[in-house]
Amino acid sequence: MFSRRDSIAAGAAALLASSATGLRAETLQPTEVPDWFRDAKFGIWAHWGPQCVPEMGDWYGRLMYVQGHAAYEHHVRTYGHPSKTGFLDIIGRWKAEEWQPEYLLRRYKQAGARYFMAMANHHDNFDMFDSTHQGWNSVRAGPRRDIVGTWEKLARQAGLKFGVSNHSGHAWHWWQTAYGYDADGPLKGRRYDAFWLRKKHGAGTWWDGLDPQDLYTGPSFVPPDGIDTIKAMDDWHGARDGQWLEDAPQNPAFVSNWLLRQKDLVAKYRPDLVYFDDYGIPFGPMGLDAMRDFYAHAPEGVLTAKRLTDEQRRIIVEDVERGFVADIQPRPWQTDTCIGNWHYDRPLYERGGYKSAKQVVQRLADVVSKNGCLLLSIPVRGNGAIDDKEERILDDLAAWFRVNGEAIYGSRPWRRFGEGPTKPPLGVMAEGEAKPFVADDIRFTAKCGTLYAALLDWPSSEVAIASLGSASGRVERVTLLGGPPLAFQQTRDALRLTLPPAGDKFVPVLRIDGAGLAA
C-alpha cells in the first residue's frame, strides 16, 4: 500500500524537480492531513526565549541595534550602549527562575488546548534545546536547562500533541544590524559588539568557549563607514537585510548548520508538529531534506509554512500568520496569533492591550468554520511566569470550552462557513485591520449529524439565521449549549429565535438538530 510517508517522499521529490522543470501542481499526489490535527482545532504556543528578558516586545535582538528605535533607547538606558553590552549579555541575564512548566501546561490544557508548541529558536539564532550543532543554546547558556526537552516530556504526560517552531532560518540577515554603528551622537561610528567580538574575548567569562560569530551569524550586509544620519542607516538596512529573505547565498555555512540543527531537533524530541517561520520551505534542497527527515520520524506529523504555492499546499499545511481566509479551504490549515506581541511586552500589559478571551473565541469560531486550526501564543515573561491578565484570559477560555467545546473538537465545516456583515481582511498579517465582529456574524460547524452555530457576539434582540431557512432542512430542536432548549420559528427565509441575556458569557453556541441539516 502507498503510505502517507511514501506519498510525502514522492511529493518532496516532485517539489524539488518542479523548481527546475516548472512541474504543474496537478502532477503532485496530495497527502492527507492526519485526523489528530483536524480534530484538535486549538493549540497554545509558548513563544519564549532570551528576547523576553527586557519585556519590550518583538524583535528586541535586532532592534536594540537600531538607533532611534524604542528598543535601542531602552537598551542604552537599562543595559548600556550596544557597542559594549550586546545581545549576548541579554542571554546571560536569562535565568527562567520562575518557570513552572507543569503548572503552565496544566493551565493551557484546562484552557482548551489540544496541542502545545514550544519555540525551539527564533531569529536571534539561540537554540532553546540541548543542541549538538549550536553552542549558543539554553543548556550551555542562559537558564542552563533543556527548555524544549522539558516542555516535550511534560506535554506528552499531559496528553497534548507536541510541536516546535523553528524561526532561525532568517537569523543570517536579521542579525546584520548588530554589525552596524550609531550614525549620530557622541558614539557615532563606534561599531556594535557583533562587529568586533570573537571567541577569544570570552576567556574567563560565562560564555568562555563560545564564539559570538556563531550567534550573530557572521557579516553578510555590514554597513560601510561614513553613514551619517539615522534615516540613511535605516534605509541602508531596509534595502538589504530588512527584507524577508528565504535563501542565503551569502552564507552557505549557515544553511548547512541550519539543516543539522533542524534534524537534531527532530531526532531528539520527535515533535508531532513543526512550524517553519518561512514563506514556503526554506533553502531549496536543504529545506526539502529537512521536510523529508521530519516525516521519516513522524509519519503522522504536520509541517506548516506560509504563503505556499499550489504545489506546496498538497504536502504541507499552510499557516496564515495573524490573518484570515475568505471561505472554507479545501485542505486543513492553521492561523497563528497572539493575545499581544509575540515576545513578552510589559508596556502592552500596562496599557491593557491584550486580546480578550472573547476575541480569541471569535477568531477560533471563524477559523474552525473554514477548516482551520488556531494556534494561540500566551506570551511568557523573561522569568518564565505569565502575568495576572493572562491568567484571567486562560480562565475565561477554560470556562467557554467547558460549555462549548463539543462544537469545536472533532468538528468539520458545514455547507458554508457562516454568514454576517463583517468581512475580515484577508491574508497574512492582516488582523490589525479587522473590524469587530457583531451578533449577526455567525459561524457553522458540523459533527455526528448535528449542526452548531456560533454567534460571534451575544445578541440583544431576535436572531435571524438566513442560512437556516426551510430549504436548508427541517429544524426540530435548538439548544443553547450550557442552557435550555430555545423556542424558534423556521420560515422560508430564516431560523428565528431569541437568546436569554448574556450575563458574563460570550460567543453563544446553538446546537441545532433536525432532518437533512448536517449533511
* Residues in the chain, total: 519
Residue 39: which residues within 8 A CB-CB, separation 6 or more?
Answer: 114, 409, 410
Cell of 116: 502545545
Q: CA geometry: angle at 77 spanning 72 and 78, to 5°?
A: 100
- Report the pLDDT averaged over residues 177-192: 98
Q: How close are the terminal C-alpha atoms of the chain, in Å?
A: 31
Which position has the grid cell 456583515?
A: 421
**CATH code given to domain 4-173+246-319:** 3.20.20.80
The mean pLDDT of the chain is 94
Query: CA-CA distance, 84 to 86, in Å (whole number)?
Result: 6
Query: CA-CA distance, 194 to 196, in Å (whole number)?
Result: 6
CATH 2.60.40.1180 domain position(s) in the chain: 418-515
Q: For 386-424, write each residue's pLDDT tens digit.
A: 999 999 999 999 999 999 999 999 999 999 999 999 999
Are the C-beta atoms of 407 and 444 separated by less than 8 Å? Answer: no
Residue 169 has pLDDT above 90, yes or no: yes
Element (H, E) at 338: strand 333-338
Q: For 52-64, write each residue's pLDDT tens digit.
A: 999 999 999 999 9
Query: CA-CA distance, 163 to 258, in Å (whole number)?
Result: 18
Query: CA-CA distance, 205 to 379, in Å (whole number)?
Result: 30
Reduce the secondary structure of 152-217 to three states and give it as a string. Answer: HHHHHHCCCEEEEEECHHHHHHHHHHHHCEECCCCCECCECHHHHCCHHHHCCCCCCCCCHHHHHC
Query: CA-CA distance, 136 to 127, in Å (whole number)?
Result: 6
Residue 13 has pLDDT above 70, yes or no: no
pLDDT of residue 59: 98
Taking Cα atoms as reference points, which of 136, 151, 54, 134 lies closest to residue 94? 54
Are the C-beta atoms of 75 and 56 separated by less than 8 Å? Answer: no
pLDDT of residue 7: 62
Element (H, E) at 289: helix 285-297
Percent of the chain with pLDDT strictly greater than 90:
92
Residue 78: which residues within 8 A CB-CB, separation 6 or more?
Answer: 54
Q: For 223-260, write each residue's pLDDT tens digit.
A: 999 999 999 999 999 999 998 998 999 899 999 999 99
CATH topology of domain 418-515: Immunoglobulin-like (2.60.40)
Are the C-beta atoms of 439 and 458 separated by less than 8 Å? Answer: yes
Are the C-beta atoms of 17 and 23 separated by less than 8 Å? Answer: yes
pLDDT of residue 9: 59
Residue 109 has pLDDT above 50, yes or no: yes
Alpha-helical segments (H) within 353-506:
357-369, 388-404
Q: In what side-by-side order are the strands of the sheet with 488-490? A: 463-465, 495-497, 488-490
Residue 453 has pLDDT above 90, yes or no: yes
Query: CA-CA distance, 404 to 484, in Å (whole number)?
Result: 14
CATH 3.20.20.80 domain position(s) in the chain: 4-173+246-319
pLDDT band at 215 (very low <50, low <70, confident <90, very high): very high
Strand-strand pairing, 273-279 and 450-455:
unpaired
Within 10 A of 499 (CB to CB), how many other CB atoms are there? Answer: 19
Element (H, E) at 496: strand 495-497
Query: CA-CA distance, 112 to 502, in Å (whole number)?
Result: 21
Q: For 312-353, write each residue's pLDDT tens digit.
A: 999 999 999 999 999 999 999 999 999 999 999 999 999 999
Q: How many CA atoms lie within 13 A of 517 on its CB side?
A: 26
Query: CA-CA distance, 146 to 129, in Å (whole number)?
Result: 5
Q: For 360-389, write each residue's pLDDT tens digit.
A: 999 999 999 999 999 999 999 999 999 999
Which position has the grid cell 453556541?
A: 509
Residue 15 has pLDDT above 80, yes or no: no
Residue 440 has pLDDT above 60, yes or no: yes
Phi, psi of 10 (to 5 degrees): -65, -40
Element (H, E) at 288: helix 285-297
Evaluated on CA atoms 273, 277, 278, 279, the torsion sign reads: positive
3-state secondary structure of 9: helix
Chain centroid offset of residue 267 CA: 22
pLDDT of residue 518: 73
pLDDT band at 434 (very low <50, low <70, confident <90, very high): very high
Cell of 107: 493551565
SS3 content of the chain, % helix, strand, coil (to 5): 35, 20, 45
pLDDT of residue 323: 96
Q: For 254-291, write each residue's pLDDT tens digit.
A: 999 999 999 999 999 999 999 999 999 999 999 999 99
Taking Cα atoms as reference points, which of 452, 465, 453 lies closest to residue 491? 465
Query: CA-CA distance, 374 to 89, in Å (whole number)?
Result: 35
- Report the pLDDT averaged over residues 158-178: 98
pLDDT band at 6 (very low <50, low <70, confident <90, very high): low
